[in-house]
Amino acid sequence: MARFSRSDFTLESFRRQLANVDALPQLCVLGLVSGVITGALMVGFRLLLEAGAMLYMPEGKPEAFEGLAPWWRALLPLIAVTLVGVLLYRQKPSARKLGVSHVIERLTYHQGRFPRRNWLNQWWVGVVSVLGGLSAGREGPAIHLGAAASSGLGEQLRLPHNSLRVLVACGTAAGISASFNTPIAGVIFAMEVVMMEYTLMSFMPVILASTMGALVAQLAYGSAPAFSIPDVALDSFLNLPWVVIMGLAIGLLAGLFIHISRSVWIRHRPLWLRLGATGVLTGAVAWFFPEVQGIGYDSVAAMLDNQLTISVLLALVVFKLILTALTVAGGVPIGIIGPVLVIGAAAGSLTGLFGGVVWPNRAADPAIFAMLGMAAMMGAVLQAPLAALMALLELTHTPNIMLPGMLAVVVACLTSRQLTGCEGFFISSVRYGLHPLQQPLMQALSRVSVPAVMERSVVRTERMVSHAQVHKLLETNPVWIVIERSTRDKPVLALKAAELARWLIDHEASQTPEEIAQEKIDLLEIPGQRLEMAPISLQATLSEAFITLQNDALGALYVVHGYRPKQRRISGIITRGAIERYYQYSYSQQEHNKNADTPNDTSDSKRDGGQR
């Protein structure tokens, strides 16, 4: 039976275990804590929206714009864009990045570390955009708040950066789960849209986080689904061709939405003009169609009960799509997932109504097409078909709708990608000339931190040493000798201890004891290869180390441990060869496991085809 000591349960031990690729129990603990934190934040954000709505909204409902006077609901967007322009755009550009795009950018290029100012800005911008009558959702703020808070927990505990990546995914999943009451969709969204990879080590912590986020939200708001779903069915498979037509139309709408929101022409207009146009156009449309304001979940509920007129449905498809895209292009950082679902539901409902006119005896209920339209639009805009299908299943609680849902989502995704050239809203928003999807090598290296691979058997010394000092250095049989320099502008060097020991034996054999006692050894003159090194943090991942070695053409990195300048010490050395050996070993282990699972009678041609 394994015995545990008190040192096994310290924070330092927890950090060391997280540095390895197989730290599943530790990551699951972080997932649980992250889910609780994110769930509590989402409850707080929704309470903040409700508190703001109590000031001027009918019955204190954040989406009751229809009950406001026309002049008041038309004025609200102007107030909202004015606040964003005055309070947000007076800050430096890096502080204005908010929402899901910011989360993906920080995960892809900054190891999952988030600036605190952006997190604080997300609170008030999220509230102002929703309550200010802009076409905006609360899911973008929810993901940012949850991911940044979870990552901040890891930074406060000084956890390795490979665990920060998982914490970001945990916060994302819990944010979606708590907002929609859709824990499975939260998991798939985090893995498909944010992490952009599927691994067991990430899946289980993310599942726990999503579960806890949903539980916390249900404790505050109950377990009722987001929408009341009518008891309807597709009735006949003869409706499937109409589903395909709907998917084609929604795919084109998704492409139009992305192209407008990424319009270079709009982004090059002056800021005052972009914000002013956003506020004026939203207010003008809201005067006649208040349904375009806010998230629009109340409109979705009305669609599912067939309570909206054709004119309102057309307004939601045309005006809400254009207004949401213009708001994004105009520089207001809003959540787009909620409005996208509303636009898709309206497009689907119109398709169902038109089908009822063309084919009155066989056409399915428009509510069915509204549900399918939600999933199709979400999948096409995000290029995340699995997340869209899971959202459809959990929002509708109707398993029978999955078959036409799969068809609608795939057709819409293909249409958006192939016919309009759109790769997905969040992928295109963080490209910056580089694709955020990492190569397989970088994916594998980002899951492990440097303590798992570094050589710990090192000793530090100055350049000039005596024979006695050299003997003392070699007593512990180190692998590397770290040579510290007299000034900081000179690089730290590393010498193989074996080369020093070999030279010492040959050199002392030709000298007298008196000469040995008086001589000073210059370690820079010892024959042997010396590696020029740069520092790297103990929390860094192997991908960070690999990039540093590639960019600076260094021979190795010395791992710095400690958080105060005077207390820092060198914990080990990591070389490019050590990183390559780790990757080759992990890859060979994966191939070995695959071959072990492959039946012996599988033909060579099948094995070759599977590898391709």
DSSP 137: B
Q: Examine the pLDDT at 605 and tell me if it is beyond 50.
A: no
Query: How far is it between the farthest Cα atoms of the chain?
Result: 110
CA distance 171 to 34: 6
pLDDT at 286: 94
Q: To which residue do tokens 């309009």 refer?
A: 420
Spatial separation of the C-alpha atoms in residues 206 and 184, rounded to whole Å: 10
Tell whether 585 and 474 lie within a shared domain: yes
How many domains does the chain contain in total? 3
Task: Identify the band that residue 459 occupies on the pLDDT scale cut at 50, 70 and 90.
Answer: confident
Does residue 2 sit in helix, strand or coil? coil
Query: CA angle 282-287-290, nearest 5°?
Result: 75
SS3 of residue 363 by DSSP: coil
Is residue 437 domain-resident? no
Average the pLDDT over 81-93 and give the result.
92
> What residues make up the domain containing 540?
448-592
More confident residue, 23 or 134: 134
CB 239, CB 195: distance < 8 Å: no
Residues 419, 459: Cα–Cα separation, whole Å = 61
Instruction: Name the most confidently modeled range: 190-199, 336-345, 399-408, 501-510.
Output: 336-345
- Kindly state whether residues 505 and 378 are assigned to the same domain: no
Residues 215 and 246 grouped into a single domain: no
> Is a pLDDT exceeding 80 seen at residue 230?
no
Last residue of a domain, one of 396, 429, 462: 429
Structural contact between residues 511 and 503, judged by C-beta atoms closer than 8 angstroms? no
If asked whether residues 105 and 214 sit together in one domain, one would say yes
- The confidence band for 593, taking pLDDT boundaries of 50, 70 and 90, is low
pLDDT: which is higher, 313 or 481: 313
pTM of the model: 0.81
User: What local confidence, expressed as pLDDT, does residue 434 receive?
Assistant: 43
Residues 259 and 407 in one domain: yes
609 within a domain of the structure (yes/no): no
CA nearest to 341, candidates 405, 388, 281: 388
- Hey, which of 12-26, 41-55, 389-403, 486-500 has the most confident mean pLDDT? 41-55
Query: pLDDT-based confidence at 373, cuts 50/70/90?
Result: very high
Tokens 């709009």: give the residue. Answer: 266
Report the distance separating Cα 83 and Cα 89, nearest Å.
9
Give DSSP secondary structure letters for 100-126. Answer: HHHHHHHHHHSTT---HHHHHHHHHHH
Of 46-60, 347-361, 405-419, 571-585, the poorest mean pLDDT is in 571-585
Q: What is the mean pLDDT of residues 146-163?
A: 88
Which residue has 């070993």 as its token pair? 585
In a domain, 30, yes or no: yes
pLDDT band (50, 70, 90) for residue 604: very low
420 shares a domain with 295? yes
Lowest mean pLDDT: which of 273-282, 347-356, 371-380?
A: 347-356
Residue 585: pLDDT band by 50, 70, 90 thresholds? low
Shared-domain flag, residues 286 and 317: yes
Domain assignment of residue 603, yes or no: no
Strand order across the beta sheet in which 569-575 lies: 458-462, 480-484, 492-496, 530-537, 556-561, 569-575
Inter-residue contact 578 to 454 (CB < 8 Å)? yes
- Check pLDDT > 60 for residue 436: no
Residues 351 and 257 in one domain: yes
Same domain as 211, residue 88: yes
Domain end point (choices 221, 248, 266):
221
Same domain, 214 and 72: yes
* Helical residues (DSSP H) of 196-239, grouped into ranges: 200-221
Q: List pLDDT tens digits, range 332-363.
A: 999 899 999 999 999 999 998 988 787 777 77
- CATH of residue 170: 1.10.3080.10
In a domain, 232, yes or no: no
Provide the angle, in degrees to the nearest 10, between the axes of the packed helices 139-156 and 24-56.
Answer: 130
The pLDDT value given to residue 246: 94
Q: Answer yes or no: is 158 within a domain.
A: yes
pLDDT-derived band at 1 (thresholds 50, 70, 90) equals very low
Say which residue, 264 or 555, is predicted with more confidence: 264
Q: DSSP secondary-structure letter at 59?
A: G
Question: Which tokens sit at 237?
Answer: 């498979």
- Can you tell me the distance from the alpha carbon of 328 to that of 330, in angstroms, rounded to the nearest whole number? 5
Residues 385-394: what's their mean pLDDT? 90
Same domain, 342 and 249: yes
Give the domain CATH number at 459. 3.10.580.10
Q: In this predicted model, which residue has the larger pLDDT, 487 or 367?
A: 367
Please indicate, yes or no, whether residues 163 and 284 belong to a single structural domain of this protein: no
Integer Cα distance of 68 and 390 in angstroms? 35
DSSP 259-302: HHHT-HHHHTS-HHHHHHHHHHHHHHHHHH-GGGSS--HHHHHH
Share of the chain above pLDDT 70, in %: 87
Q: Which of 550, 539, 549 is nearest to 449 (CA)?
A: 539
Buried b (16+ CB within 10 A) or exposed e, 221-239: eeeeebbebeebebeeeeb
b/e burial code for range 326-345 (CB count within 10 A of at least 16 → b): bbbbbbbbbbbbbbbbbbbb
Q: Do the domain assignments include residue 442?
A: no
Measured distance CA(558)–CA(518) in Å, rounded: 32
Q: Looking at the domain assignment, is residue 602 inside a domain?
A: no
Looking only at the bridges linking them, the beta strands covering 458-462 and 480-484 are parallel
Q: Write down the mean pLDDT value for the chain.
A: 83
Most confident of the ranges 55-69, 384-398, 407-421: 407-421
Q: What is the end-to-end Cα distance of the chain in Å, rounded? A: 44
- Tell me the two tokens of residue 182: 């859709």
Confidence of residue 125 (pLDDT cuts 50, 70, 90): very high
Q: What pLDDT score was predicted for residue 342?
A: 94
